[in-house]
Structure 1
Amino acid sequence: MKKLLASYGRDDEFRAVAEQIILEEEQKNNRVLARTLRKTLDNAQPATPAPRALAPLIPFPDAASDFVERIEPQHNKNDIVLSDENVRVFVDLMHEFRRGDEIRRRGLDVRSKLLFCGPPGCGKTLCAEVFAAELGLPLYVVKIDRLISSYLGETAANIRKIFEFARKQPCVLFLDEFDALARSRDDTSEHNELRRVVNSLLLFIDRIRPKGFMIAATNLDQSLDPAIWRRFDEVIWFDKPDRQMIERFLQLKFKNVALDFDPLAQAGKLEGYSYAEIERVCVQAIKSAVIHRRRTVREQDLRRAIADEVRRRSGRARLKASD
């Protein structure tokens, strides 16, 4: 509190101290107080204009706002279905984060660098959002397309800015499509510049000790450079849901919808589909009832939506075969 009062009038320093107080409250599990303080801090008018798309919390490298965007979580733990194994891992990570100071005092590292792997549509991005919300940390998403530059040497410099930001700002920093940066250096189709980017990336990941979490996600884990894997504290796999998880997901999607049938009877037809595909089926079934001005969703609506998804899949299969 003395530091906070002493820094009054120096906006950057004042916000850095305030953020430290908020982080301490989060680590004490005083989440309601921490969220109230963070909201108050975010809504405060800074003495100098804040960078676009970033909350004015603490100083960060120039032009970081070109590559990072703050996302307000719209979901919570009740909106996601995870395997029991992944639930256990995430609960352990949250406990470890909240006891971070005690762990560090014993000379031990806190796990903070996570790699999410799995096919598209299986919950990697949603999980990062829910994880940030549960921890009470701001979620920042890296704009990979802007990060990768056509100018020689500039991509590595851009990555440095992102990692410097994560080092200073307590947050969940999410890098989707991570394979675009970390592609194997043995890939003969890649040019020397991208190999140098991977070399820099390995060095940055090694050195960073985030105040929150750095999460990288990929659908193409087989394309990652072999040296990437050991740089992460945890590798978490997101697979397509099994029958039990599909049933839980259907219950979740239809929980506030009037039905005249049991959707779980159709769960077997959705095995092998991703969460994104199953969600599209559920939404289409609900829209069918709205279009026909019915108050309830019928089994026929769900059957037709499943048939549409089968048709959609067969079209993609034909495209792959022609390639």
Structure 2
Amino acid sequence: MAILPNLILKSRDTSLIELKDIHFSEKNKNLLKQLLKEFKYINTFREYELPVDNKILLFGYTGCGKTTTAKAIAHKLGKEILILNLGEIVSSKLGETAKNITSIFRKASRENSVLFLDEFDYLGKTRDYETKDSGEMKRIVNTLIQQIDQLPNETLLIAATNHSSIIDTALLRRFQLRLKFEKPSKNDLDIYYDSLLLKFPEKYRNFERSYSISYAEARDITFRNIKNRIIEEEEAKELKAV
């Protein structure tokens, strides 16, 4: 069965952020440490027929690093990552979506890779049997549950969603680890702003900081302000040269 063209195989990512450089709550840090140690000693666990926790749900506020975290975990484990946006694989052909999901899981299992399912809520919505599409959605959710249950110990599944409350509870139960990503506090954002500004000259570091936003938004604001300062300097040089 052919793999969908929108399944992206990432072996090297120049934009990768190391796991140690991502801002996590203490609870999330501890869960990730445990995960990494379990995969490190997976062969020893196998001797005692102990499974590793290889199914993780990343959920919560948008723009707080769920995709970045998935990539960083794969890099730390030395595994390739298969990234799939579930909102992009739904087919109008009856039964085609379930076949696509099966194909993708089989590829991840063969390669012992990290399978990252973004927008997990798109196919994991609570089943509503009153709608005309309920039969197809039921097949898709059941296929997803079956593939998750059959996932080999060495393959890591990471699912991400901004809307965990609408996901079918039968799917949620499959995830041993659940990492909640919350909107950062003022102190968290100040630490993040400072970390971003370290590599820039002092003269670019002064600007009005915004709060009650995500890390992604803070990053965009920081870089936009620095670029504007550079543009002002370059335009001033051009005026002097005239």
- Structure 1 length-normalised TM: 0.66
Moved over 3 A (4+): 186-190, 260-263
Structure 1, unaligned runs of 5 or more: 1-61, 295-323
Map of 2:8 onto structure 1: 69
The separation in 2 between residues aligned to 1:216 and 1:78, in whole angstroms, is 21
Map of 2:89 onto structure 1: 147
The separation in 1 between residues aligned to 2:222 and 2:29, in whole angstroms, is 24
Q: Is the 8 A contact 1:166 1:210 kept in 2?
A: no
The separation in 2 between residues aligned to 1:194 and 1:237, in whole angstroms, is 26
Map of 2:180 onto structure 1: 237
Map of 2:71 onto structure 1: 129
Q: 2:98 aligns with which of 156, 181, 185?
A: 156
Q: Is the 8 A contact 1:241 1:275 kept in 2?
A: yes
Q: Is the 8 A contact 1:67 1:162 kept in 2?
A: no
1:146 Cα offset (Å): 4.3
Which letter does structure 1 place at the counterpart of 2:89? L
1:182 Cα offset (Å): 0.8
**Structure with the higher fraction of residues in helix conformation:** 1
1:259 Cα offset (Å): 2.4
Is it true that 1:227 corresponds to 2:173 in the alignment? no
- Structure 2 length-normalised TM: 0.87
The separation in 1 between residues aligned to 2:173 and 2:196, in whole angstroms, is 37
Q: Is the 8 A contact 1:69 1:143 kept in 2?
A: no
Which letter does structure 1 place at the counterpart of 2:156? F
1:216 Cα offset (Å): 0.6
Deviations 1:114-135, CA, capped at 9 Å, x for gaps: 1110121010001111111111
The separation in 2 between residues aligned to 1:80 and 1:181, in whole angstroms, is 28
What's the % identity of the aligned pairs? 32
Is it true that 1:249 corresponds to 2:192 in the alignment? yes
**Structure with the higher fraction of residues in strand conformation:** 2
Structure 2, unaligned runs of 5 or more: 235-242
Q: 1:284 aligns with which of 215, 221, 224?
A: 224
Q: Is the 8 A contact 1:120 1:274 kept in 2?
A: yes
Higher relative contact order (CA 8 A, sep 6+): 2
Q: Larger Rg: 1 or 2?
A: 1
Map of 2:38 onto structure 1: 96
Number of residue pairs the alignment of both structures matches: 230
1:278 Cα offset (Å): 0.8
